[in-house]
Amino acid sequence: MTNKDLLAVTEEFGSPVYVYDSEKIAFQYNRLKNAFNKIKDLRIHYAVKALSNISILKLINSLGGGLDTVSVQEVKLGLKAGVDPQKIIYTPNGVSLEEIEEVAKLGVQINIDNLSVLEQFGARHPNTPVCIRINPHILAGGNSKISVGHVDSKFGISIHQMPLLLRIVENTGMNINGIHMHTGSDILDIEVFLRASEILFDAAKNFKNLEFLDFGSGFKVPYSEGDIQTDIEELGEKLSKRFKDFCKNYGREITLAFEPGKFLVSESGKFLAKVNVIKQTTSTVFAGIDSGFNHLIRPMFYGSHHDIHNISNPKGKQRFYSVVGYICETDTFANNRKIAEIAEGDILAFSNAGAYSFSMASNFNSRYRPAEVLWHNGKAHLIRERETFEDLLKHQVEIEFEIAKPEVSEQ
C-alpha cells in the first residue's frame, strides 16, 4: 500500500480507520510455513484475539491455516468463517466448566490449563481428546507486561505440578492427545525458547497417545526500522531438527503446531487518523488527532512503540511532536517524536496496527469504533462499517422516571 492508496482510503471511508494488507498477512504465513518446511505435518493456528474480523479469518482459512481461540465466541466466529472445527483449538483461561463443555460439543480441540477444571472435565468426559497447557516457567520475551511465563502467571499448569497432573489423568482415564507450551510474547532469544521446548519434550514423554505438540508463539515483529525481531528461519532450522529427533524417539510422527497472532497480522495493519489541532505550549508541540487510546490502546497499556508517519506531507521537514488523542484522559501515542512537519488536516499513519488494535478498541467517551478496510488485490474492501449513534444505543434499555414533586410544608 502506498501513501496515495492510504489517503484514498481515508477519502472513501473517513477517519480514523484501520487498513490491513492481505498480501503481508499471506507473506508472513508462508514465511513461517517455509521456515518449517522439513516438518511433515505442520499446523498454523492463527490467534484470533489479535484481530477477529471474520474476513481476516476467511483469509487465514484460504491460506490453509487453522485458528487458536480463547472464548466460545471466537470459536463461533471461526465456524461462521467456514473453518473446519478440527482445525480450531480452544485455549481459554479462567472460564467455567460449562463453557468448555459447550465448546467441546462443537467438535474443536480442547486445551486446558487448570488442574481443577482438568479433573472435572476428565471425570465427566474421559473420551474427549484434551490438550494440556504447560507453563515451563521460562520467560522468552523482553516486555514484562506481555511475558507471562513466570512462576506466578495465571496461564498454564506449572511444570512442577506434573506428578499431580499425571495422577489426575490416570484417575480419570482421560484422553490426552496434545501438549501445549506457554511462554508469553515477544521472543527475543531463540536459545531460551529452545530450552523451554526441551521442557515440553520431557513432559510429552509421559503420554503415549499424543497427536501433536503446540509450541505457542509470541514471535516478535519489528516496530521500527532496525528493531530486533524473532529470527523465524533460525528457529525453524533448530527446532525442526530437535522435533524430528523427538518423533524418532517417540516412535512415530506427530504434528508440530504454532499459534501466531501478532506475527501474522501486526505489520499488515495501518491505523489512519486526521490531525484536528496543532497546539504549542511553552515546551511541547502537540498534534491532536481524531482518535485516542479507545482505538489504539497499546502505547498507553503496554508502553509499546508504533512508528508514525505524516502521509500527507511525507517529505516535509522533520520536527518534534507529541501525538495525543481526543480522549478526556492522559492519552499519548508518542512523546517528542520526529515526524515530517504536520499541519491541521493532515493524515497520520500508525504502523503495526494489525494486532490488538480494533480487537481492544472501546466506546470510551461514547466515541464510535472506526471502520476496518482490507487492501486486497490492489483494492480497498470495507470489512466493517464505522459505528453510528444508533450503535451506541442498540443494547441500552430506557426506562421512564417520574419527577417527584417537592413536599411543601404547611406554614
Active site residues: 328
Question: How far apart are alpha carbons 55 and 272 in whole angstroms?
Answer: 20
Question: How far apart are alpha carbons 5 and 12 in whole angstroms?
Answer: 11
Cβ-based neighbours of 410, under 8 Å, separated by 6 or more = none
Beta bridge partners of 277: 288
Question: How far apart are alpha carbons 123 and 121 in whole angstroms?
Answer: 5
Sign of the torsion angle spanned by Cα atoms 146, 298, 27, 212: positive
Sign of the torsion angle spanned by Cα atoms 295, 300, 306, 310: positive
Q: What is the DSSP string of 89-150?
A: EE--SS--HHHHHHHHTTTPEEEE--HHHHHHHHHH-TTS-EEEEEE-----BS-TTT---S
Beta bridge partners of 110: 90, 130
Dihedral class, residue 389 (left if φ above 0, else alpha if ψ from -120 to 50, else beta): alpha
Place of cell 462443537: 106
